[in-house]
């Protein structure tokens, strides 16, 4: 009995302990991890656990992202995990991603793991076209991504077709040119062969140094609504609705007039049909009467013929009477025939009147069955979006006792950086010249057109930032209002 009670108490204790924990899945750019967390944990407790597991010390760049109601949200550090609006399914799923981007990756990213996570995330955003990348830069970035994965180029190992299964270029760039997969691989391999001697970390850093100059690197875009445009659109829709209503009212009045005229025509047709029916009946009675008189005349003529044999005088008289009777009979027959023809004509007029009445009824039925109201279509509200962005500037302060030596090293690195930048720009221009002849202008996206215009005008993200930092607050506000 005592052992059974102890076992039951142990089971209840275990259940209470399990109720105080919940499972979490963390998805990084490389792998997924699962943790068991306490219900009292705040967002910072979970975030610190992930950073310790990854061996990450540059934590200020990153955050835990989750999706709720088709919206991207970031886990708050100072609030309990379960008190936030996170999905209620277990395990809870969070994505460990870079939340803030450094302006100078070479100076601000120290740890290799930080650099590698940034490389994977930026590469994914470029391939998904969340960061717009020109075609020539896409080829160069792809060559550095290949070097980071395969190491130095070896023609004996890296034979044609070894990149067939790799996703290296955005689909937008591939569709923009009349080039086969082999032609793209040839250009990427040509750039890849020039990177000989670099380590994986150096290739990833070169990738990030090129990517940080892209216009959409580290910039979050969101839709805004201009009140003036919304009011103009509402006014336009209201005017269109009023015009549609007036048109429907005019059409309704027209249909009512047509129905009224059809009713009057139907009434006149009915009256005409009744009148013709009466005339036909009278003509028919007159024809019957004339036929009866003709029969009586014929009978009289036969009787006269029988009595004509009584005498010559009587015969003469009878012949005279017979002639008179024949003349009367002929006249009556002619009159009867004429009356019969009139009766037939009246029957035809009656039939035509009935046909006219039936057509008038059909027309009235057709008019009354027409649709009177038509719902006006509402055009979808298409309000041109404007874009804004936000950024975080992170910097480090470095101190060195030997200022002279540091200055010389900085000057030397500056000269090397300028030479590399010049070489990189020449390489990008050469790539652009090679593939421009194969470009399909009609497949350019809106971002491609904007990028080309900015390139022609010499406008870039860095020049805009520099211009804003040198201006007053009032001038900055005016600049953004003009966008």
pLDDT of residue 314: 65
pLDDT reading at 10 higher than 80: no
Q: Which long-range contacts (CB under 8 A, 24 or more apart) does 16-22 make?
A: 22/82, 22/90, 22/91, 22/92
Cβ pair 325, 350 in contact under 8 A: no
Distance CA 37, CA 23 (A): 6
pLDDT (0 to 100) of residue 18: 47
The rounded distance, in Å, linking the Cα atoms of 7 and 1 is: 10
Q: What mean pLDDT is reported for the chain? A: 79
Instruction: Dump pLDDT digits (tens) for 323-363.
Output: 776 787 677 778 767 777 776 777 777 677 777 777 777 77
Partnered with residue 96 across adjacent β-strands are 64
Domains in the chain: boundaries:
21-99, 107-212, 228-371
DSSP character at residue 442: G
**Burial label, 342 (beta-carbon count in 10 A; 0-12, 13-18, 19+):** middle
Please give the average per-residue pLDDT across 405-409, as a whole number.
74
Instruction: Specify whether the CB–CB gap between 128 and 171 falls below 8 A.
Output: no
Identify the weakest region by mean pLDDT among 151-160, 250-259, 383-392: 383-392
What confidence score (pLDDT) does residue 64 get? 93
> For the segment 251-300, what is each residue's pLDDT rounded down to a tens digit?
999 999 888 898 888 888 888 888 888 888 888 888 888 888 888 888 88
- Quote the tokens at residue 353: 């009147």
Q: Does domain 107-212 have CATH number 1.20.80.10?
A: yes
Predicted local confidence at residue 114, as pLDDT: 92
pLDDT of residue 24: 93
What is the CATH code of the structural domain delimited by 21-99? 3.10.20.90
Sign of the Cα pseudo-torsion (30, 193, 187, 103, in order): positive
Distance CA 272, CA 268 (A): 6
Q: Tell me: the pLDDT tens digits for 115-136?
A: 999 999 999 999 998 888 888 8
Mean predicted confidence (pLDDT) in 438-452: 73
Q: Do 42 and 80 form a contact (C-beta atoms < 8 A)?
A: yes
Least confident of 259-273, 315-329, 395-409: 395-409
Domains 107-212 and 228-371 share a fold: no
For the chain, percent of residues with pLDDT exceeding 70: 78
**Alpha helices for 397-472 (secondary structure H):** 403-436, 446-457, 461-469
> Which of 135-139, 255-259, 474-478 comes out lowest in average pLDDT?
474-478
Q: What percent of the chain has pLDDT over 90?
A: 23
For 432, 469, 470, the CA distances from 475, given in Å and listed in that order, are 36, 10, 10
Distance between CA 305 and CA 318 in Å, rounded?
Answer: 7
The helix-helix angle for 200-211 and 135-150 (nearest 10°) equals 160
**66 falls in which pLDDT band (50, 70, 90)?**
very high
- The pLDDT assigned to 381 comes to 41
Is 228-371 in CATH node 1.10.287? yes
* Range name among 16-20, 82-86, 182-186, 388-392 with the lowest pLDDT average: 388-392
Task: Give residues with Cβ within 8 angstroms of 204, minimum separation 6.
Answer: 115, 116, 119, 144, 148
Q: 397 or 363: whose pLDDT is higher?
A: 363
Higher pLDDT, 309 or 208: 208
Confidence of residue 76 (pLDDT cuts 50, 70, 90): very high
pLDDT at residue 9 tops 80: no
Predicted confidence at residue 44, as pLDDT, reads 92
Q: How far apart are CA 64 and CA 46, in angstroms?
A: 9
* Cα separation, 430 vs 425, whole angstroms: 9
pLDDT value, residue 163: 85
pLDDT at 12: 43
User: Which pLDDT score, from 0 to 100, does residue 482 have?
Assistant: 64
How far apart are alpha carbons 470 and 475 in whole angstroms? 10
Residue 54: which pLDDT band, with cuts at 50, 70 and 90? very high
């Amino acid at each position: 009995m005592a052992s059974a009670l102890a076992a039951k108490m142990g089971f209840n204790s275990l259940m209470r302990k399990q109720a105080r924990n919940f499972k979490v899945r963390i998805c990084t750019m490389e792998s997924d991890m699962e943790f068991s967390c306490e219900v009292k944990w705040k967002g910072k407790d979970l975030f610190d656990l992930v950073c310790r597991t990854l061996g990450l010390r540059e934590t200020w760049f990153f955050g835990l992202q989750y999706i709720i109601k088709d919206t991207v949200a970031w886990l708050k550090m100072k609030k309990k995990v379960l008190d936030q609006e996170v999905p209620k399914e277990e395990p809870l799923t969070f994505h460990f991603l870079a939340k803030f981007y450094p302006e100078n990756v070479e100076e601000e990213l120290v740890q290799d793991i930080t650099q590698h996570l940034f490389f994977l995330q930026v590469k994914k955003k470029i391939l998904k076209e969340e960061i717009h990348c020109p075609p020539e830069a896409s080829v160069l970035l792809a060559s550095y991504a290949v070097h980071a994965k395969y190491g130095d180029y070896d023609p004996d190992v890296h034979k044609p077709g070894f990149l067939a299964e790799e996703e290296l270029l955005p689909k937008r760039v591939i569709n923009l040119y009349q080039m086969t997969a082999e032609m793209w691989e040839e250009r990427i391999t040509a750039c890849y062969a020039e990177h000989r001697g670099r380590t994986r970390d150096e290739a990833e850093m070169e990738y990030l140094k090129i990517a940080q100059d892209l216009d959409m690197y580290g910039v979050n875009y969101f839709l805004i609504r201009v009140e003036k445009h919304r009011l103009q659109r509402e006014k336009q829709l209201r005017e269109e609705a009023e015009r549609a209503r007036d048109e429907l009212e005019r059409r309704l009045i027209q249909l009512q007039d047509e129905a009224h005229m059809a009713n009057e025509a139907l009434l006149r047709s009915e009256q005409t049909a009744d009148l013709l029916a009466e005339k036909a009946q009278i003509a028919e009675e007159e024809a019957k009467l004339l036929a009866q008189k003709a029969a009586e005349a014929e009978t009289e003529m036969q009787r006269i013929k029988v009595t004509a044999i009584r005498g010559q005088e009587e015969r003469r008289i009878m012949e005279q009477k017979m002639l008179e009777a024949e003349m009367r009979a002929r006249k009556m027959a002619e009159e009867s025939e004429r009356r019969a023809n009139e009766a037939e004509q009246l029957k035809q007029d009656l039939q035509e009147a009935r046909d006219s009445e039936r057509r008038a009824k059909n027309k009235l039925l057709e008019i009354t069955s027409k649709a009177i109201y038509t719902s006006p279509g509402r055009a979808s509200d298409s309000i041109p979006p404007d874009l804004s962005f936000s950024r975080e500037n992170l910097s480090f302060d470095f101190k060195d006792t030997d200022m002279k030596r540091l200055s010389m090293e900085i000057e030397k690195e500056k000269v090397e950086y300028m030479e590399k930048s010049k070489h990189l720009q020449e390489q990008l221009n050469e790539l652009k010249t090679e593939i421009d002849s194969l470009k399909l202008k009609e497949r350019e996206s809106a971002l491609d057109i904007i990028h080309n215009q900015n390139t022609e005008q010499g406008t870039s993200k860095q020049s805009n930032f520099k211009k804003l930092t040198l201006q007053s607050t009032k001038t900055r506000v005016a600049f953004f209002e003009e966008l």
